[in-house]
Structure 1
């Protein structure tokens, strides 16, 4: 199956899930996660109308996206992987949204970078929703304090992001993230990937991060 056929299928699955949940499809943004995929693989999706893409690493995005942005208008680039504090300035310069704010040192680095660069990406706090030591994200109990620190530093946190534990039902974790967002007055929810994005849409996801269902297995 070609990338454009996969794109049409994923869009239809998102639309179906939105109908089931009686949600407005316009409230759900599909992020095509293009990490490890070359520009020539991405182009067919752009030409089919996809405009929002995600990358895991600043360095990879720097290597391939400036040329694509010159060629095509209105592209949005989201950082969906972990961010080192020393890459904060480059990330603020390149990305329209950062989904992985997860610790006080990164909050401080982003505040300085936003001040220097004069642009403010949409920011999501990543929550370690399954309390997994090998994953990034702030602990659930630490979320209110991190949000307070971010707001005190002048940052606008627009959403929460999570990656549920692998191999288990994702719905309870998505429901917990949605509750945390409501409790904290945060409007956006970045949750759901290739294996579970339909569940995420039914539970309120505003952004779903889909890679392999669009591009096939990573190179």
Structure 2
């Protein structure tokens, strides 16, 4: 990676942080309420290193094996990086997530929750988890319906090696801001309802490069940004 690409990631991060701050200001929120998760899937360790140099410590990975390799590569970094698994999770990969990641955003089945709870090393802090909601009811996407959230939340809350922190969603792509906002507000309503029962709930993970302003206006506390930081992904490898 040459110096021009290096500086581009730092510049991109600064621009994203400024976008977060301006979006927050428009709805009278503090930018400190919103965590920036840098989505580093398919990106090399050198790109992550440049993001770290620019002050980024929280990273999201979609592919288990790739993510585990990156967690290992940066395991001695100080201060420690925070690794979030944000991709669909199959049963046969649950142990790798339980043993290596700090967060899992995509919990949508009791079976997976039980496996993660059993497989989380006892010498590690509980795995921080979010319930994924299929808010747009898309056949192609993971997640449960809003109606199913209370039961799964209750099941997770009883598991000693998981810590339920909130909800995550990937709505259907909408170019219209008002349409984006309407969907995100459904998530916020569910999030606020869940907080009444579970005081530790504090994370609403929604908003990506193309819909971040609407997500922040609706109440997102964590935005997942990849392309705007690292550039377009190359899936040809």
Fold shared by both chains (TM-score > 0.5): yes
Deviation per residue, 1:175-216 (Å, 9 max, x gap):
001100111213310000010112111211111000001111
Q: 1:158 aligns with which of 165, 170, 195?
A: 165
Comparing 50-59 and 108-117, the one that deviates more: 108-117
Comparing 89-98 and 101-110, the one that deviates more: 89-98
Q: 1:147 aligns with which of 146, 149, 153?
A: 153
In the alignment, the residues of structure 1 paired with residue 57 and residue 69 of structure 2 have an alpha-carbon distance, to the nearest angstrom, of 18
Secondary structure class of the residue paired with 2:215: helix
Task: Give yes or no for contact 1:92–1:119 (8 Å, CA) kept in 2.
Answer: no
List gaps (5 residues or longer) in structure 1.
none
Task: Give yes or no for contact 2:127–2:163 (8 Å, CA) kept in 1.
Answer: no
Q: How does 1:45-194 map to 2 (within 5 A)?
A: 45-114=51-120, 116=122, 118-154=124-160, 155-168=162-175, 169-185=179-195, 186-194=201-209
Count of aligned positions: 219
Question: Corresponding residue for 1:29?
Answer: 35
List gaps (5 residues or longer) in structure 2.
196-200
Comparing 91-100 and 149-158, the one that deviates more: 149-158
Task: Give yes or no for contact 1:30–1:52 (8 Å, CA) kept in 2.
Answer: yes
In the alignment, the residues of structure 1 paired with residue 173 and residue 101 of structure 2 have an alpha-carbon distance, to the nearest angstrom, of 27
Query: What is the CA RMSD across the aligned residues, in angstroms?
Result: 1.6
Task: Give yes or no for contact 1:163–1:191 (8 Å, CA) kept in 2.
Answer: yes
In the alignment, the residues of structure 1 paired with residue 83 and residue 226 of structure 2 have an alpha-carbon distance, to the nearest angstrom, of 14
1:65, distance to aligned residue in structure 2 (A): 2.7
Question: Corresponding residue for 1:205?
Answer: 220
Secondary structure class of the residue paired with 1:146: helix
Question: Corresponding residue for 2:198?
Answer: none
Distance change >3 Å, CA 69–CA 156, structure 1 → 2: closer
1:118, distance to aligned residue in structure 2 (A): 4.0
Question: Corresponding residue for 1:13?
Answer: 19
In the alignment, the residues of structure 2 paired with residue 101 and residue 209 of structure 1 have an alpha-carbon distance, to the nearest angstrom, of 16
TM-score (norm 1): 0.94
